[in-house]
């Protein structure tokens, strides 16, 4: 898995991880995200344009990134999240996906992760959404 990190500026700073290769393991991506988080990253786009394949271990990584970036803001409280999930309106305000492949999208959908993670097909639009 190759990772290229860049910074974008929308209403808020956004870090973009451009990934290349199958998303089938936590590392080294999670460690890199932790380092970025410690350095001040709170908003992350995973560019999946060159990720042909996501397995359950890739889903585990997305789950951990979601938890890493979650804050204790009222809109992200357990009660607000649960209500948002039930009404289909909750999406992570901190982690978004760009250009997943058809197969990757199918896995995200089967696992129900598309209920929590916004999916974009245009980087500028994704950056502007934060």
Q: Nearer Cβ to other proteins, position 107 or 123?
A: 107
Angle at 120 between CA 53 and CA 41, to 5 degrees: 90
Q: Which residues bind other proteins (CB under 8 A)?
A: 24-25, 53, 55-57, 59-60, 63-64, 66-67, 70, 78, 81-82, 85-86, 90, 103, 106-107, 110-113, 115-116
Counting other chains too, the contacts that 32-38 makes at CB distance below 8 Å and 24 or more residues apart are: 32/3, 32/5, 33/65, 33/68, 34/68, 36/5, 37/68, 37/69
Pick 1 or 5: Cβ nearer other proteins? 1
The smaller minimum CB distance to other proteins, of residues 108 and 123, is found at 108
User: What's the min distance (Å) between Cβ of 39 and other proteins?
Assistant: 24
């Amino acid at each position: 898995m190759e990772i290229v990190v860049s910074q974008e500026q929308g209403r808020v700073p956004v870090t973009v991880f451009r990934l290349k290769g199958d998303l089938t393991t936590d590392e080294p991506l999670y460690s890199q995200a932790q380092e970025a988080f410690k350095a001040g990253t709170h908003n992350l786009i995973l560019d999946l344009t060159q990720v042909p394949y996501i397995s359950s271990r890739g889903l585990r990584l997305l789950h951990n990134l979601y938890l890493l970036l979650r804050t204790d803001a009222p809109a992200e409280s357990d009660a607000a999240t649960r209500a948002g999930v039930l009404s289909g309106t909750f999406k992570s305000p901190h982690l978004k996906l760009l250009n997943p492949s058809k197969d990757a999208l199918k896995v995200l959908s089967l696992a129900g992760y598309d209920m929590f993670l916004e999916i974009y097909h245009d980087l500028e639009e994704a950056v502007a959404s934060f």
